[in-house]
A and B are shown apart, each in its own frame.
Chain A
Amino acid sequence: MDTMAPILAAHPFCKGLDSRYLKLILECASRETFTPGQLLCQDNQEARKFYVIHHGRVAVEIYRARRGAVTIQTIGEGEVLGWLWFDQPYHWHLDARALDLTRVISLEVQCLLDRCAQDHGFGYEIMRRYAHRLAVQFRATKAQLADFYGD
């Protein structure tokens, strides 16, 4: 657990977080490593984890019959995966596959939610970061929808 603290503290998602809150997050954290091709999550599975990526690259895919997997986004070091965990139905609706050897700190969603409910100050901090991620991703998605490279 001790080795996770500096990684989390340096990660953009947790940067600047009060050490008290960092400790709460650490209570829900564990390390995971994925080899290239390995799935971090799969469509329709229950969403129990939130991934803080600190090394490697992950492809977010939608599976389509006949065409197979279509990658709609790649994310990597400094980013997070699974930020829809906060909302129902607590199911993944995409596949995420490691492209390179990928190291993450995974956070237990239920554990995080419990702590947010108990300590609204902590909950607010998490929600603020969550909202920022959402806004960044939303902007990128809108840009993608605008047919960025078409004329």
Chain B
Amino acid sequence: MTANLPDPMIPTPFVVQKVKRETSDTYTLDLTRAEGAANFAFAPGQFNMLYAFGAGEAPISISGDPARPETLVHTVRDVGNVTRAICRLKRGGVLGVRGPFGVPWPVDRVAGQDVLIIAGGLGLAPLRPALYHLLNHRGEFGNIEVIYGARTPKDLLYLRELERWRGRFDLRVHVTVDQAEGDWHSNVGVVTKIIGRTRFDPPSTVALICGPGVMMRFTVLELLNRGLKPEQVYVSMERNMKCGIGLCGHCQWGPFFVCKDGPVFRYDRIKAWFDRREV
């Protein structure tokens, strides 16, 4: 008697079509299937396990446009062996993909509402598909405000796109950094401070937040101060992941498996665990 392993554990080879350097250590890769031309359908906020042959796997959120599933787009920061191997891939290079996994942003359930997208650092990567979706269906939503913070202007992702979005009349984009030199003309200060300058109607607003833990903690507090209820706030969490499908136990966070119960969580459901340490 024999058993075939579950398919979700077997990577599918993808070929690198394009590599774009975003910052000193972060790259955006456009990928297509090595075999066949099937689309890679996903929902904004979901992630893939990216496999660098021989080096290992890392969970990386999908950063492309869900309406253009023929190309799979990932933005990867070189922070370890696996991500370094992925970042070093050139056009024509091959990597393995398992996914998509995880709970997405609730973009298809918030029609008619104002949407705040608040990102810190690399946190814009998993939020970009959500913004694409909102813009693809612009008429369905109220005011859309994007607040994006990074350490310095050099650490900003998707610069050209940010500029393009800033030129739109149906979207407000606030970019802020902690420190700037030279001809930086945008904001300097933390994202929480920018929230005061955005326009939204608290009872019919949803906030989507992704960034490092400390940034999300302060941002949630500020939003609650400004009249949002916990159930109007969504955050994307990060934990060590090995299998991506809720079997290996690594991504446990209290009662949750971040890989299958998240990475996107509605804040009221995780409130009890959000501020606890070493969970």
Contact = CB atoms under 8 A, between A and B. Distances in A.
A70 B151 contact: no
Given A140-B190, A140-B192, A71 B180 contact: yes
Contact of B121 (A69, A144, A151): A151
B120 interface: yes
Interface in B130-186: 149-151, 155, 176, 178-182, 184-186
Contact of A150 (B151, B179, B192, B218): B151
A59 interface: yes
Contact of A99 (B176, B185, B197): B185
A149 B192 contact: no
Contacts of B188: 59-60, 71-74
Interface string A59-90: 11000000111111111101000000000000
B37 interface: no
Interface residues of A, number: 23
A149 B179 contact: no
A66 to B, nearest CB: 11
Interface of B: 79, 120-123, 149-151, 155, 176, 178-182, 184-193, 196-197, 211-212, 214-215, 218
Given A70-B180, A148-B120, 16 more contacts: A68-B181, A71-B180, A71-B181, A73-B188, A99-B185, A140-B192, A143-B190, A144-B189, A148-B151, A148-B190, A148-B212, A149-B120, A149-B123, A149-B150, A149-B178, A151-B121
